[in-house]
């Protein structure tokens, strides 16, 4: 069973500040960020074994949560994605609710449908996809 206690927050200062306000307010501040919903994702580092926490925009597909590994269209995947790809057991905080989930990478028609859904949440995802040669991963988080 992964140990999600004492996570290390994102090294990006504005993301770390977002996480801090989210955690300190129990999701009252930070859940909605610039008009879009965000969750806190805690993964286990694939090399370090350390719990690592990120704030990410999400969408809902039934009772599942959907996130996108865009990294602003960078040529490489975000670290959180590499971590959950290797260890799909994760912890989420959505607003005040905290729970475990299992991550899986969407593919084929499901990926396309969910990518379009997420582009409805944040239209920039289309721009990010256009500026990189990698396929931007779409991740489904099923509550445990």
Burial class (CB in 10 A: 0-12, 13-18, 19+), 39: buried
Question: Where do the DSSP E strands lie in the chain?
Answer: 8-9, 32-33, 36-44, 51-57, 59-61, 64-68, 89-94, 97-105, 138-143
Is 62 part of a structural domain of the chain?
yes
pLDDT tens string for the chain (144 positions)? 789 999 999 888 999 999 999 999 999 999 999 999 999 999 999 999 999 999 999 999 999 999 999 999 999 999 999 999 999 999 999 999 999 999 999 999 999 999 999 999 999 999 999 999 999 999 999 999
Tell me the pTM: 0.95
CATH of the domain at 46: 2.30.110.10
Sign, CA dihedral 45-38-76-118, equals positive
Is 94 part of a structural domain of the chain?
yes
The domain in which residue 135 lies consists of: 8-143
Is 101 part of a structural domain of the chain?
yes
Q: How many domains does the chain have?
A: 1
């Amino acid at each position: 069973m992964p140990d999600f206690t004492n996570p290390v927050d994102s090294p990006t200062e504005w993301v770390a500040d977002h996480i801090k306000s989210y955690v300190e307010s129990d999701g009252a501040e930070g859940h909605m960020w610039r008009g879009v919903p965000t969750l806190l994702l805690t993964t286990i580092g694939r090399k370090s074994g350390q719990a690592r926490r990120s704030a990410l925009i999400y969408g809902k597909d039934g009772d599942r949560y959907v996130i996108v590994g865009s990294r602003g269209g960078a040529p490489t995947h975000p670290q959180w994605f590499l971590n959950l790809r290797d260890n799909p057991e994760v912890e989420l905080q959505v607003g005040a609710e905290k729970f475990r989930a299992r991550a899986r990478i969407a593919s084929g028609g499901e990926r396309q449908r969910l990518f379009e859904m997420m582009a409805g949440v944040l239209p920039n995802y289309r721009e990010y996809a256009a500026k990189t040669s990698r396929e931007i991963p779409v991740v489904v988080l099923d509550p445990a």
